Chains A and B, each alone.
Chain A
Amino acid sequence: MTPLLQLDSVNKAFGGLKVTQHLSFSVFPGEIAAIIGPNGAGKTTLFNQITGHLLPDSGRILFKGEDLVGLTTQAIVKKGLGRAFQVASIFPEETVLDNIRLAALANLDHTRRFWRPSAEHRQATEAAVAILASLGLEEQGGRLAFELSHGDQKLLDIGIALALQPTLLLLDEPTAGMSPEERQRTRRLIGEIRGEYDLTLVFIEHDMDMVFDIAHTVRVLQQGALLAEGSPAEIQSNEEVVKAYLGEEL
């Protein structure tokens, strides 16, 4: 099986600060891959390089066999790579439905249409309503996005990414700042949408319960370098990891 996403010796430094060091790993179709690591380990920066936000200093990032390095974010997104952000990235003054509808319209390449009201674009609206339903946000559809709770805003962010029908979805700390109940719900939802939308997932998370619960593979980053890689069980019993990272929590 060929990997869906393959990092090949990616390097990045901000001045003297090495945020990504010789990073190589592969994610295969259908996989749920977790990336963990302490604050400032370079997890978000890695996502930024994958999505064309930052240019790696060297190395290749292959997605479906194509090198993404040097492509614009727009081009990368169009290849089927979606992303939800650490801080929910939504359109605060639009309704929840319109947030997702906009993404659906963008996905259908309908955003140049300037005559029929967006509410009358059935295909996009139906897609958006379906996504709202799978996220359990259908009750909130008419509210303005900024009025949502923090947790629902993070879900909405995922919903926007879903509307673009990605094959690979990057989630940056999907449960950050959520209450325990919201965490439970989000964990369940992520499992559901993965099946429903046939996704490969790469997620960054600090909540270890969630990581060891749903991930197939786990990668541990420390100061930009790959400290360990393996199944949740392997990582849990990896002494280096326990010492360097989990040690703080135990």
Chain B
Amino acid sequence: MGISDMKSLCNGNTLGWGALILAFALVPALMTSQYQLNVACNVLIWALFATSFNMLWGVTGMLSFGQALYYGVGGYAIGLTVTYLGSQWYFAAFAAGLLFTLVLSFLLGLLVIRVGGVYYTMLTLAFGQLAWQIMFKMYDFTGGDDGLQGITLPGLLADKVYYYYFVMILVLVAVWVLKRMAYSPFGLILRGVRQNPNRVRFLGRRVRRNQLRIYVVASLFATVAGALMAGVDGSVHTDMFFWTTSGEVILMSVLGGISHFFGPFCGAVVIILIEDIVGAHTEYWSLLIGSIIMVMVIGFPRGLVGGALDVAAKVRAILQGEKHDDTTLTAGLGK
């Protein structure tokens, strides 16, 4: 079979998505313990969180250090509702969390987008930490530092394997939606906002309006991730709001590569797996990951996916010889 056949398969994305779905669908069959199922859930949820975050940073150029806020909202929407009202309200809580994030991210977005660059980053951080402090101090309601335990899920979801598939389907659908968005006209203008905001104004488009839109969208998906996380261990903790949680998705994105849609996804998989293996042996995990990312940023700024693609491109070049690749205009019109 020729390389072009493979290429057409890849172009249609069918192969990639098929492999992805298959890999995650087989986890419950291949796993040897409950714990591994938990890890797989973690991988999926963080992958969604990181992917949604990268719509802000890698795509639009807005480095937010406060996405933990919306992740936490998701977790506590489920946690508080189920704890105080019972698990029959689970889906209502999911919707309520999204609605809350919609309003909150819109209002906060109006505020933080007024300032650009590092100010934006620091303000998102400040608001994230503010939310963390509020959750931390409202001990009677939120359980403060103890968090909320014993969150039970309704019906079939109470079963770990069913819940895993629930997570898997939601995450993969969400990632698919985000991918459509990234390659749509909306995604294109977001990339434009990152590369040349002044030109975007000269296209008759409003920069801040588009930044606000993606801020709200990314926050909604972070909320989905947080809400899913509440069901994994049946508990939520104020750490979900803490700034290191926001930092974690940044590290995942950089490790995977922020200029590729699936970079953050891959970064999340790698970090969760390493954390799972190494974290058991050392409490100085941040020291390790901090050093690794520092080296990555200096030496391999394109991340794992970027590096892999470079290698793939070289291999392809060798396989094809010096053959000229004339996919210029047709590539654009194509499909």
Contacts and interface: CB of A to CB of B under 8 A. Distances in A.
Direct interface between A and B, CB < 8 A = yes
The interface centre, meaning the residue of B184, B203, B335 with most chain A CB atoms within 10 A of its CB, is: B203
B185 interface: yes
Interface in B144-183: 180-181, 183
Interface string A86-122: 0001111111011001110111001111111111110
A6 to B, nearest CB: 22
Chain B contact residues: helix, strand, loop or mixed: helix
Contacts of B329: 97, 129, 132, 138, 141-142
Given A142-B332, A143-B328, A114 B187 contact: yes
A140 interface: yes
Given A115-B180, A140-B328, A141-B332, A121 B202 contact: no
Contact of A111 (B181, B189, B201, B333): B189
Contacts of A141: 328-329, 331-332
B205 A111 contact: yes
Contacts of A93: 191, 195, 259
Contacts of B202: 51, 73, 77, 82-83, 89, 160-161
- Residue among B181, B186, B199 with most chain A CB within 10 A: B199
Given A114-B184, A143-B328, A89 B203 contact: no
Contacts of A124: 185
Contacts of B332: 95, 97-98, 101, 119, 125, 128-129, 141-142
B205 A106 contact: yes
Contacts of B247: none
Contact of A164 (B184, B203, B335): B203
A149 interface: no
B314 interface: no
Contact of A114 (B186, B192, B198, B331): B186
A139 interface: yes
A143 B325 CA distance: 11
A148 to B, nearest CB: 13
A142 B327 contact: yes
B204 A105 contact: no
Most buried by A among B181, B188, B259: B188
The 10 closest A-B pairs by CB, nearest first: A142-B328, A106-B203, A77-B204, A114-B186, A97-B332, A111-B189, A141-B329, A105-B185, A117-B183, A73-B201
Interface of A: 51, 72-75, 77-78, 82-83, 89-95, 97-98, 101-103, 105-107, 110-121, 124-125, 128-129, 132, 138-143, 160-161, 164
